[in-house]
Structure 1
């Protein structure tokens, strides 16, 4: 049995959940598939999930803590007899998947780019050394595997499965959550976007990000920022791309006024197509770009925006 832990926003499955289902289907020779949704008020999410999986377990455990998520996942493992668990890789999943692997006495393969099986083992690859090296990994069952976002086409619906509620023994939490404030963000999630438009210090001011937002909106993408921009208070930390921010792998990455230090490249250098605008012809970003413009970003950005609008029309 293969168990997929389904990430959601409380109402709908996230894109990462559909990618995790697709990844689990690639391992289907190891057993049947089942899904698990964890949290509270899970009815709508479970109804959506049953369109993708023959069995969907629900674990109403309340708001997120690593202990609750690990306990719920382990309860589903025991119920289903799963030997493989697939999870969408995220900052949250990193806080509890190691706990689950320990409970299962399982190998943990994190941030995998692709996965397959030779019948007795799970084979996977991942990036390391600031995304400059691709490692090949193999692990005997049981295995907990996390799938890096935007590396697998999302799964399509397949029939309609059943829903089964789980009873989960609530573990004691070492950390008590006193308050939870959801980030208020419009548009596409940075980690799920197929187009990312990132502004760097070369834009000169927080006000200049209005053009970045406009271009991202026209292209149906998300806004990113460099660490220097975030440190200056121009943009929130949730938009930071790089070694100390988020790692993205969109189809198109547009860097505006971004010099491209190695720490930033670690968060975006595996994008399918990279476009950069910078007035410095020697900027490191140009070493990894597919299309580069040497020029004043304040002159080039309006032209890009106008061209994007014409394409959309």
Structure 2
């Protein structure tokens, strides 16, 4: 059995959950057995009714103790579900929360930990995976014996399709004193755009060359027209123009969309680490020697304040807006 910890927002499965199911199915074909799921936290019962279309069984962990997230609690729930399912492999999204609890789970299971993977497979009773390292410029191949915990890098795996209705099974998990040591005093929702930055297929990022926070209204308009997410460089975040939730780069988020627009972005190596695996990169910068052009498929050397409004008008024409 392969267990997938299925990320959700309290109402719907996140994209990372369906990527995880795809990975788990591939591993199940090689190792044998079926794919089970785990849904934890607020809204888990409702989400499980949707999750059961993708896996043979969905374990549900919910209740007052599970209303707030801590890494200790999620690791405990995943460990209990893995034991209940007899799972030797646990697949989880490599989200910020996923990274915080998967290492704890690997310790509990005495398992190999393969993090932030681009692909994973099994051969002769071992699991293998590939991942990027050294600012996303080197492709590593890793191997681990069973049991194993594998986290899936966002936007690297096809989304799973429904495969029939599975069963839903409530799972009672008792928290020990260790899991209760962390108390959540306040929760502040991360502010961001209409589309999740790490899950977006199109990302429109503005750099310091935009000149002001007000200028980002054009970035927002362009992203909305394309159905994409807004990103920003560290310099923009440090200036207070945009929220940290939108930062792309080594100290921000890593994105891998189908199309990445870098507008007035110089393209320092730290920024490139967060976007250089995008499928298509489009850049606009008035400096022809800007480093971003080394990562660009299509580039415009020009003033973004002239080029971006023209791009917006062309998209409106195409959409008949």
Q: TM-score, normalised to structure 1's length?
A: 0.98
Instruction: Give the drift of 1:108.
Output: 0.4
Map of 1:29-40 to 2, 5 A cutoff? 29=29, 30=31, 31-40=33-42
Instruction: Give the drift of 1:186.
Output: 4.1
**Residue of 253, 257, 260 corresponding to 2:260:** 253
Q: CA RMSD in A?
A: 0.9
The corresponding residue for 2:146 is 141
1:62 aligns with 2:62: no
The corresponding residue for 1:106 is 111
Instruction: Give the drift of 1:183.
Output: 2.6
**Residue of 156, 159, 164 corresponding to 1:154:** 159
Number of residue pairs aligned between Structure 1 and Structure 2: 313
**8 Å contact 1:70–1:100 — kept in the other structure?**
yes
1:97 aligns with 2:102: yes
Equivalent-residue separation in structure 2 for 1:308 and 1:107 (angstroms): 48
Secondary structure of 2:287 counterpart = coil
Q: TM-score, normalised to structure 2's length?
A: 0.96
Instruction: Give the drift of 1:62.
Output: 2.6
**Residue of 267, 274, 278 corresponding to 2:274:** 267
The corresponding residue for 1:48 is 50
1:198 aligns with 2:205: yes
**8 Å contact 1:67–1:171 — kept in the other structure?**
no
Equivalent-residue separation in structure 2 for 1:258 and 1:137 (angstroms): 34
Instruction: Give the drift of 1:311.
Output: 2.4
Structure 1 residues 186, 265: CA separation in 2 closer, same or farther (over 3 Å shift)? closer
The corresponding residue for 1:24 is 24
Query: Which consecutive unaligned segments of at least 5 residues does structure 2 have?
Result: none
Equivalent-residue separation in structure 1 for 2:176 and 2:223 (angstroms): 43
Instruction: Give the drift of 1:184.
Output: 4.2
1:13 aligns with 2:20: no
The superposition leaves residues 171-197 of structure 1 with CA deviations (integer Å, 9 ceiling, x where unpaired) of 333322101122344411001000000
**Residue of 226, 241, 244 corresponding to 1:219:** 226
**8 Å contact 1:227–1:242 — kept in the other structure?**
yes
The superposition leaves residues 255-274 of structure 1 with CA deviations (integer Å, 9 ceiling, x where unpaired) of 00000000000000000000
Equivalent-residue separation in structure 2 for 1:310 and 1:151 (angstroms): 32
**8 Å contact 2:10–2:44 — kept in the other structure?**
yes
The superposition leaves residues 198-245 of structure 1 with CA deviations (integer Å, 9 ceiling, x where unpaired) of 000000000000000000000000000000000000000000000000
Secondary structure of 2:76 counterpart = helix
Query: Which consecutive unaligned segments of at least 5 residues does structure 1 have?
Result: none
Equivalent-residue separation in structure 2 for 1:231 and 1:105 (angstroms): 41
Equivalent-residue separation in structure 2 for 1:26 and 1:52 (angstroms): 13
Map of 1:73-88 to 2, 5 A cutoff? 73-88=78-93
1:128 aligns with 2:133: yes
**8 Å contact 2:281–2:298 — kept in the other structure?**
yes
Instruction: Give the drift of 1:40.
Output: 2.6
